[in-house]
Amino acid sequence: MTLDLPLIFTILMGVSILAYVVLDGYDLGVGMLMPAADAREQNRMVSSIGPFWDANETWLVLGVGILLVAFPEAHGVILGALYLPVFAMLIGLMLRGVAFEFRVKAEGWHRELWNWLFWAGSFLAALAQGYMLGRTITGFAPGFLPALFAFLVGASLCGGYVLLGATWLVGKCEGALQKKALAWARWGLAWVALGVLLVSVATPMASESVRAKWFDGLAAAPWRLTLFLLPLATLAAGIHVWRSTGRLTRGESRAEWSPFAGAVTIFVLAFAGLAYSLFPYLVIDRMTVWQAAAHPSALKVILAGAVIVLPFIFAYTAFSYRVFRGKAQENLYD
């Protein structure tokens, strides 16, 4: 049996991007929530993500690396069209990393300054990622409306990361900070609903092939109706997050990780729907994964390296989350 190497690398790249969005998404969300907390709460928030945030970005490096080496044709088109938002995202990630390290050593108003810069870096990185998603969905179409749509998707992704960050804090913290996080989670959920709605409406409008995949031929292929279980399941996950945060707020439940599980489910289902809509294109309606793929001989070498490296990444991720499980300590980095 001949392996479909472009398809394998598409799956690997998709898994890497999804892992990055979920894992780095919650710590970007925590960073964007910093101004809403007091000094002691900020210390606990930083402690909740400190052991993980740096390693979480490994998945971004892996996803972009696969795009570069396995799909060089698409890499040139995509990063060429998204040069400025990619630059903005990298500035945000670097600013966040510097602020995280410097705030530990700073005192007084200097620490407050670095806290604000940590927020700014997190917000800039999240907004740039959402803008890139919006531009990708519209096929990099020029004009004011596609750009406005991309900014709205960027704002919605910021809200989505806030939802992940807030629900993460619900599980990692307790007391007054946990109560605040429950309220933040509901606010973020509203932005997630807006983002999912925007993407769901715009993707079929931007591409005739996507519209055909979802809506054409339903009478001839009734099995396609099962696809609409994805948006229904996403809605159910959103309702679960709303209800679980309400029960925790009223003290009716101790399932502190239930909201985070619901938030992750929303992202996984939304990602699955988007993947179905865009596949097999890397550049929508212009370039498929097979057209963009590198030579098979190169893909075989890359696959051999991936088989060796990926188990170590998964093992380290699982090990770090096991070691640092439990509630966050307030002064872990002081």
The pTM for the full model equals 0.90
Q: Is the pLDDT of residue 311 over 70?
A: yes
Percentage with pLDDT > 90 across the chain: 25
Mean pLDDT of 272-278: 87
| Per-residue pLDDT, 105 | 76
pLDDT digits (tens, 9 = 90+) for 135-180: 888 888 888 888 888 888 888 899 899 999 999 999 888 888 889 9
Rounded to whole angstroms, how far apart are CA atoms 330 and 33?
16
Decide if 256 is inside a domain: no
Q: How confident is the model at residue 1 (pLDDT cuts 50, 70, 90)?
A: very low
Name which residue leads in pLDDT, 317 or 253. Answer: 317
* Helix (H) and strand (E) counts in the chain: 14, 2
Q: pLDDT tens, 229-250?
A: 888 898 999 999 999 998 988 8
Domain that holds residue 191: 5-201+289-323
- Would 13 be classed as within a structural domain? yes
Any domain includes 23 = yes
Domains in the chain, number: 1
* Residue 60, in any domain of the structure: yes
- Rounded to 5°, angle at Cα 295 from 291 and 299: 105
The pLDDT-based confidence of 52 (bands split at 50, 70, 90) is confident
- Asked if residue 279 is part of any domain, the answer here is no
- Backbone phi and psi for residue 142, each to the nearest 5 degrees, phi listed first: -80, 165
Residues 22, 268: Cα–Cα separation, whole Å: 8
**pLDDT value for 282:** 86
Q: Which tens digits make up the pLDDT trace of 295-306?
A: 888 888 888 888
Q: Which amino acid makes up residue 148?
A: L
The pLDDT confidence band at residue 217, using thresholds 50, 70 and 90, is low
CA distance 29 to 126: 8
261: CB partners within 8 A, 6+ apart: none
User: What's the angle, vertex CA 188, arms to CA 186 and CA 190, rounded to 5?
Assistant: 75
Answer for the pair 227, 215: CB distance below 8 angstroms, yes or no: no
Cα-based distances in Å from 297 to 55, 76, 106, 306: 31, 20, 52, 15
Residue-wise pLDDT tens digits, 14-30: 999 999 999 989 999 99
Return the higher-pLDDT residue of 329 and 264: 264
Beta strands in the chain (DSSP E): 281-283, 287-288
Residue with tokens 């002691």: 40
Instruction: Identify residue 102 by its one-letter amino acid code.
Output: F
Q: What is the dihedral of CA 43, 48, 50, 56, to 10 degrees?
A: -150
Task: Evaluate whether residue 257 is within a structural domain.
Answer: no
Q: What integer pLDDT is reported at residue 41 of this predicted model?
A: 84
Answer whether 173's CB lies under 8 Å from 327's CB: yes
| Any domain includes 305 | yes
Give the single-character DSSP code of 283: E
What mean pLDDT is predicted for residues 191-211? Answer: 80
Per-residue pLDDT, 224 = 65
* Helix orientation angle between 144-172 and 109-137, rounded to the nearest 10 degrees: 130
State percent of the chain over pLDDT 70.
Answer: 94
Across the range 97-120, mean pLDDT stands at 82
pLDDT at 240: 92
